Structure 1
Amino acid sequence: MSGFVTLTAAGAIDATYRVGALRRGAFARADSYTREVSGKGVNVAAALAAGGADAVAVVVLGADDVRFARCGLTAPLLRIVEVPGATRVNTSIIDAEGITTKVNAPTPPLTTEAWEATVEMLRRELAARGASWLVISGSLPQLAGTADLIDLGIVRALAREVGARVALDTSGAALDAVLADPAGIDLLTPNAEELAAAVGRPLHTLGDVVAAAREIVARGVDTVLASLGADGLVAVTAERAVFARSGAPYVANTAGAGDAALAGFLLGLSRTPAASAAGADPLAVAAASAAEWGAHAVAHASTLVSGPPHGIRTRVETAPDLDRVLTPEGEA
């Protein structure tokens, strides 16, 4: 099994409240409450570990929360870079209908010293594991005192030094910056809305998504794994497009589903030699694994998954119907 290192430059505490009803401006008493160390790279590492992979998560956390982090279920995976103060809190509120309302705290800036410490931690972990993948996930902070985001160029260079491929899952200005210079990015994982923004047009059909993903591939990205929400996902390369969709046993919490799907895709890719030897299609295996892990994740009450998926039915299409109309945003 391949080794994986994830980077979460803006770690978080995930707070999840379950309520009977959520009405704007009204008082609500939570039926339950959970709190866990998170951030997209932590979620990915936890899913990879649940799938049997050797994975660690380099994560920037506020010193106030380090003791809590070291007592949690993910503690063995964490490689913590401490910064002063508290860690930001991302809040999910899930009502009785299973609808998730999510509010993420602002991403705090990183000092030059903290970023240098993060890069050094990455250097050590990549070298120690001989990692085959570096996964950069979540928001990218600004460097304190500047308007610039942290520079991923040095991170990509670190990955190349050890022969690791790079997967990136980010959004907003960070995604725009990467798309302007995607050299060294092997896997990009936008959702349909982010992909539409990247190409500057709406995407109404699966064919629209594939065409948009191929524009990104043409800029130098090897594979685009596009999440389509309730419609499933599609893995796109210059030559191939593979669609996959899994049915979740039930929906408990949609937060973290994309992170689990990314982990599932990487786990599927790590089985490529065995899949090829057995005559299976490696990209189809990876896409199916991504869909299964995503469906598995939404059945979890927490953001983090525990154990691999079992008994989830998955449909895979290696020649998908490109005229298929996507479900409008906000509908299931």
Structure 2
Amino acid sequence: MTGIVTLTAAGAIDATYRVGTLRRGAFARADSYAREVSGKGVNVSAALAAGGADTAAVVVLGTDDVRFARAGLTAPLLRIVEVPGATRVNTSIIDAGGATTKVNAPTPPLSPEAWDATISALGVELAARTSPWLVISGSLPELAGTGALVDLAAVRAIAREHGARVAVDTSGAALDALLADPVGIDLLTPNAEELSATVGRPLDTLGDVVTAAREIVSRGVTTVLASLGADGLIAVTADHEVFARAEAPSVANTAGAGDAALAGFLLGLTREPAAGVDPLAVAAASAAEWGAHAVAHASTIVEGPPLGIRAVIETTPDLSHALTDEGQA
């Protein structure tokens, strides 16, 4: 099976509080509290492992939290690059109605030495796998002393060196920098809001999303997988689009659904499709099922495959269909 290596250059500790009611400016006592090593690449690798894939998560963590990380459920997947101090904490507060309020800590800068160590760890993991995927996930830190984000040129170079296909799930300045030179990116996974910001206009219908995705494809990206939140998702290539949607058995925590959907898409792509079956449809269905599976989990780390969840697939979707959700995942 194809190996998949994820990069989380800004690792995190996820803290999740469950409260009955959340009111601005008021005191609330949590009904429960959970803490786990996270970051988008770690979440992706956890879902991949739950689906039976060979995966490793290269993640930058503060030394203060390494002992905690090595005792967690994801410990076997982690390839930790240690930096001084504590890891940033991202906080989710989920009320009794299922609404999630999320506050992410700022991303601390990374020293040149730590960035070099991160690149080296990626090289080791990619070299250990045949025809691997490299998934670049989450926010990117600044390179200390430069005022600029770490340069992904070295990451893309090491991917080419090891024949790795590249998937990217990031936003903001990091996404803008990648889209300035996107040739060689095999898969890009924005949500509707990020895609809208990239093309500079609102996306009101499925057709608007497809048109925007094709603009990105025309720049050199092979496939765009656009998450539309409760509306589902759509995979778009230069000449083909597939829409997929799956019902979640319940909604416990929406954080991490996009990470699970990306993992599901890669799991679908790495399967050998039956004769006559569209591989893009298989991957899109798998993405929708894993995303629905994730929102039923209390934590951002999913356990086990999405049993009993089946996606509805449309290989000729109605492009006039109006979007009802903001598309965030």
User: TM-score scaled to structure 2, two decimals?
Assistant: 0.98
- For 2:107 and 2:59, locate their aligned partners in 1 and report how far apart those are by CA, in whole Å: 13
Deviation at 1:280, TM superposition (A): 1.1
- For 2:47 and 2:310, locate their aligned partners in 1 and report how far apart those are by CA, in whole Å: 19
- For 1:113 and 1:305, locate their aligned partners in 2 and report how far apart those are by CA, in whole Å: 33
> 1:64-97: per-residue Cα shift (whole Å, max 9, x none)?
0000000000000000000000000000000000
Alignment of 1:141-180 (within 5 A): 141-180=141-180
> 1:41-68: per-residue Cα shift (whole Å, max 9, x none)?
0000000000000000000000000000
Alignment of 1:24-173 (within 5 A): 24-173=24-173
Deviation at 1:313, TM superposition (A): 2.7
Deviation at 1:263, TM superposition (A): 0.1
Of the three residues 291, 296, 299, the one matched with 2:293 is: 296
Matched, 1:322 2:319: yes
Q: Is the 8 A contact 1:224 1:235 kept in 2?
A: yes
Of the three residues 291, 312, 326, the one matched with 2:309 is: 312
- For 1:232 and 1:317, locate their aligned partners in 2 and report how far apart those are by CA, in whole Å: 11
Q: Which residue of 1 aligns with 2:209?
A: 209
Q: Is the 8 A contact 1:5 1:131 kept in 2?
A: no
> 1:179-202: per-residue Cα shift (whole Å, max 9, x none)?
111122110000001001100110
Q: Counterpart of 2:318 in structure 1: which amino acid?
A: D
Deviation at 1:279, TM superposition (A): 2.1
Runs of 4 or more, structure 1, over 3 Å off, are none
Q: Which residue of 1 aligns with 2:237?
A: 237
- For 2:146 and 2:99, locate their aligned partners in 1 and report how far apart those are by CA, in whole Å: 38
Q: Is the 8 A contact 1:41 1:137 kept in 2?
A: yes
Q: Which residue of 1 aligns with 2:183?
A: 183
- For 2:289 and 2:242, locate their aligned partners in 1 and report how far apart those are by CA, in whole Å: 14
Deviation at 1:217, TM superposition (A): 0.2
Q: Counterpart of 2:114 in structure 1: which amino acid?
A: A
- For 1:330 and 1:208, locate their aligned partners in 2 and report how far apart those are by CA, in whole Å: 13
Q: Is the 8 A contact 2:6 2:136 kept in 1?
A: yes
- For 1:20 and 1:78, locate their aligned partners in 2 and report how far apart those are by CA, in whole Å: 34
Residues 163/103 of structure 1: CA separation in 2 closer, same or farther (3 Å cut): same
Matched, 1:278 2:254: no
Q: Secondary structure at the match of 1:123?
A: helix
- For 1:102 and 1:76, locate their aligned partners in 2 and report how far apart those are by CA, in whole Å: 27
Q: Is the 8 A contact 1:6 1:42 kept in 2?
A: yes
**Structure 1 unaligned residues grouped into runs of 5+:** none
- For 2:327 and 2:268, locate their aligned partners in 1 and report how far apart those are by CA, in whole Å: 29
Q: Counterpart of 2:231 in structure 1: which amino acid?
A: D
Q: Counterpart of 1:280 in structure 2: which amino acid?
A: V
- For 1:131 and 1:330, locate their aligned partners in 2 and report how far apart those are by CA, in whole Å: 32
Q: Is the 8 A contact 1:48 1:54 kept in 2?
A: yes
> 1:250-292: per-residue Cα shift (whole Å, max 9, x none)?
0000000000000000000001xx31x4321100000000000
Deviation at 1:147, TM superposition (A): 1.6
Q: Is the 8 A contact 2:6 2:56 kept in 1?
A: yes
- For 1:298 and 1:330, locate their aligned partners in 2 and report how far apart those are by CA, in whole Å: 14
Q: Is the 8 A contact 2:232 2:244 kept in 1?
A: yes
Q: Which residue of 2 aligns with 1:4?
A: 4
Identity of counterpart residues, as a percentage?
A: 81
User: TM-score scaled to structure 1, two decimals?
Assistant: 0.97
- For 2:319 and 2:327, locate their aligned partners in 1 and report how far apart those are by CA, in whole Å: 22
> 1:81-134: per-residue Cα shift (whole Å, max 9, x none)?
000000000000000000000000000010000000000011111101235200
Q: Which residue of 2 aligns with 1:223?
A: 223
- For 1:278 and 1:104, locate their aligned partners in 2 and report how far apart those are by CA, in whole Å: 45
